[in-house]
Amino acid sequence: MARERSNNRYLPSVSFPDSLHLLDSLEAAVDGVNDVLLAVPSHGFRELLERLKPLLPASIRLCWATKGFELDSGRLPNQVAHEVLGPGRSVAVLSGPTFASEVGRGLPTAMTIASPDADYAEKLARDLSSASFRAYTSTDITGVEVGGAVKNVLAIGAGLSDGLGFGANTRIALITRGLVEMTRLGVALGARRETFMGLAGLGDLVLTCTDDHSRNRRFGLALAKGASVASALQDIGQVVEGYQAARALRVVATREGVVMPIAEGIYGVLYEELAVEQVVQGLMLRPIKPEFD
């Protein structure tokens, strides 16, 4: 990447700006900085924090673009960061409906930066915003992270549904009722309900459920066409966060006593070899209830 000034594996059409410097040492990367931004999959988040811990003075602020619950513990990234690094540090999460290829090409994009420290969220938003990239701020870090974790699981369901030809009615029902499940879990974890109507909730959910740039949606499409889990993951060639997230989400929902029938059905397809048709039938035959109960 240093030689070719591009990431030919993931973003071959995007050239690095002159201001971007590549380093092969964490020590060198964080030396003398005020802010650190992490962009790693959720399963590598804790390990990276453990490696960074002795290198980060308490004054260095930390933000991340990681989405998903920690697999074994069911913790959100902000909970993992607090556990590893301790209290008192300014932290934030960057999340929202963003495909890397479009951001890299400079196409107009908006996302959310959430931090309990409102001043830090605003500073990050100003630092990262440009003519083609707009950041909004929030203090609801839990809500923003729940949105980023749950949407990947639902996107697999959208891929399964479309791959089996269930149609637009089914897709929009999955998205809308999936948003209800996402909100229900988020509120149980202490998030604000309105967060899920924003970029990191509804926005990211619609994007990942409807566009084939989404790895999670493509994973569901491949399974619907008869591919095994292993072969679908191999063909995509990148991390499919929703596959592992379905397990973690089930742990969290059970722990919190939150009913999430769509997420539970997707888990059944991925890990219990349930037929998608069986799951859909089960959802359609659930007892009648108020829409927002």
* Catalytic machinery residues: 151
- Nearest-CA neighbor of 219 among 206, 235, 207? 235
CA separation, residue 34 to residues 124, 183, 186 (Å): 12, 34, 31
Q: Which residues contact 91 (CB under 8 A, 6 or more apart)?
A: 61, 62, 63, 64, 78, 81, 82, 115, 116, 117, 141
- Nearest-CA neighbor of 185 among 151, 227, 231, 223? 151
**Are 192 and 140 within 8 A, CB to CB?**
yes
| DSSP states along 11-79 | EEEEEPPTT----S-HHHHHTT-SEEEE---GGGHHHHHHHHGGG--TTSEEEE---S--TTT---HHH
Residue with tokens 């960057």: 94
HSE-CB for 95 with a 13 A CA cutoff: 35
- Distance, in Å, from the CA atom of 147 to the CA atom of 270, rounded to the nearest integer, reads 21
CA separation, residue 138 to residues 87, 106, 188 (Å): 20, 24, 19
HSE-CB for 132 with a 13 A CA cutoff: 8
132: left (phi over 0), alpha (psi -120 to 50) or beta: alpha
**Are 159 and 219 within 8 A, CB to CB?**
yes
133 three-class SS: strand
